[in-house]
Amino acid sequence: MQNGHVSGGILPAQAIERLIADGAIALDRTAAPDQIQPASLDLRLGTRVHRVRASFLPGPGRTVAERLEEFTLHTIDLSDAGAVLETGCVYIAPLMERLALPEDVAAATNPKSSTGRLDVFTRVITDSARSFDAVPAGYVGPLFAEISPRTFPVLVRPGSRLSQLRLRRGEPRLSDAELAELQDRARLVDDDDVDVKGGVAVTVDLNGDGDGLVGWRAKRHTGVVDVDAPGAHAIEDFWEPIRAGKTGLVLDPGQFYILASREAVQVPPGHAAEMTPFDPLVGEFRVHYAGFFDPGFGHSEAGGSGARAVLEVRSHEVPFILEHGQTVGRLVYERMLERPRELYGELKTSNYQGQKLKLSKHFRAG
């Protein structure tokens, strides 16, 4: 390490700004003031969106634009008042950001936290892609978002942010031994007997904090959620509360749940974290669409004292009983290339610092 830098790591906000200045990240419009996060860049929808027959990957040597000519059912102009994206449909939207990455910089994408908590299935596609949400080192070309609302129809417009991009140089992921040492030193989760194999184990809280509330179940056949309108929607119009029970929680197929981790989590300033998909062999459910945790999340240096990981949970083909304390995911930690200029929790947009069980920022009580 020299001058606060390491040989490989996640690029912080100031490095993202340098890539924008150098043209490695090109923007159709000037960056919004809060678009750059401590360890990620929000991606913005462009002026149109394509309704397509099905999800697809372009494959080697093919562009997304070429495949859209084959699969587009109709194209929607967002430039006037935006448009409602309906549940059960698949859409492809060109993004305002375009990349010309250095040969030693790769990227990964994920839904933003608020997107995942709305059950909007979102992933990013590049030209010649063989997989979603992965941008190879040195990639030059456009970015597209695949969007499929699962529970609520959503209103979007140009500049709406559903996805985020995280850039990395080298291999910054901590080994199990390094992760165990960091847990001992920095107490990543407040558990004295934590499992760190392949990441820090995260378990579900079904006891609650004394008020009996342990989660929320999404209602069906609701109104539209405006993704750019924080606090505009009443909780009771979209969600049903779940109270603590004696025999765990039965996850019904096709239902969407918001739950919380039993552990309080924190991310030290020199690291970033990601919730990885849970092993489907352990249970018929999927947890946490939105996986990025920025440096400072829940950390004392950014005004935190630990924060719960909010879990977006959906059962698969059969009902499944989820028990209190059951492992539902793993947090993988990676080194930062530099400490971010500002930490999560120090920004006005840090909506989930110190959170417990919390719905997305779009909902208000009463």
Nearest Cα residue to 149 out of 124, 118, 113, 125: 118
3-state SS assignment for residue 111: strand
- In the structure, what pLDDT confidence band is assigned to residue 327 with cuts at 50, 70 and 90? confident
**Do 140 and 202 reside in the same domain of the chain?**
no
pLDDT at 190: 85
Mean pLDDT of the chain: 89
Residues 156, 264: one domain? Answer: no
320 — phi, psi (to 5°)?
A: -140, 135
Position 318 scores a pLDDT of: 85
pLDDT at residue number 366: 63
Q: Please tell me whether residues 198 and 326 are part of one structural domain.
A: yes
Cβ atoms within 10 Å of 332's Cβ, excluding its own: 18
Q: Looking at the structure, do residues 328 and 308 belong to the same domain, yes or no?
A: yes
Last residue of a domain, one of 106, 136, 169: 169
Give me the number of domains the chain comprises: 2
Q: Domain range spanning residue 87?
A: 9-169
Span 168-188, average pLDDT: 93
Are 196 and 340 within one domain?
A: yes
* Residue 261: inside a domain: yes
Band the pLDDT of 304: cuts 50, 70, 90: low
pLDDT for 202-255, tens place per residue?
A: 899 999 877 789 999 999 999 999 999 999 999 999 999 999 887 789 999 989
Query: pLDDT tens across 38-97, in order?
Result: 999 999 999 999 999 999 999 999 999 999 999 999 999 999 899 999 999 999 999 999
Beta bridge pairs of residue 148: 121
Asked if residue 2 belongs to a domain, the reply is no
Are residues 310 and 277 both part of a single domain? yes
- Percentage of the chain beyond pLDDT 90 is 66
Residues 108 and 231 in one domain: no
Q: How many CA atoms lie within 13 A of 236 on its CB side?
A: 2
Q: How far is residue 299's CA from residue 67's CA, in Å, rounded to a whole number?
A: 44
Cα separation, 163 vs 161, in Å, equals: 6
CB contact set of 263 (below 8 Å; sequence gap of 6+): 189, 190, 191, 194, 202, 203, 308, 309
Gap between the Cα atoms of 307 and 138, Å rounded: 36
Read off the pTM. Answer: 0.92
Radius of gyration of the chain (CA): 20
pLDDT band at 281 (very low <50, low <70, confident <90, very high): low
CATH of the domain at 345: 2.70.40.10
Q: Which two tokens stand for residue 37?
A: 């996060």
Cβ neighbours of 137 (radius 10 Å)? 15
Q: Within a domain: residue 4? A: no
**CA–CA gap between residue 272 and residue 10 (Å, rounded):** 7
pLDDT at 6: 56
pLDDT for position 4: 47
Least confident of 81-90, 149-158, 304-313, 343-352: 343-352
Task: Let me know the angle formed at the C-alpha of 268 by 265 and 270, rounded to the nearest 5 degrees.
Answer: 150
Residue that terminates a domain, selected from 169, 186, 219:
169
Per cent of the chain over pLDDT 70 is: 90
Look at residues 169, 190, 224 and tell me which one is the last residue of a structural domain: 169
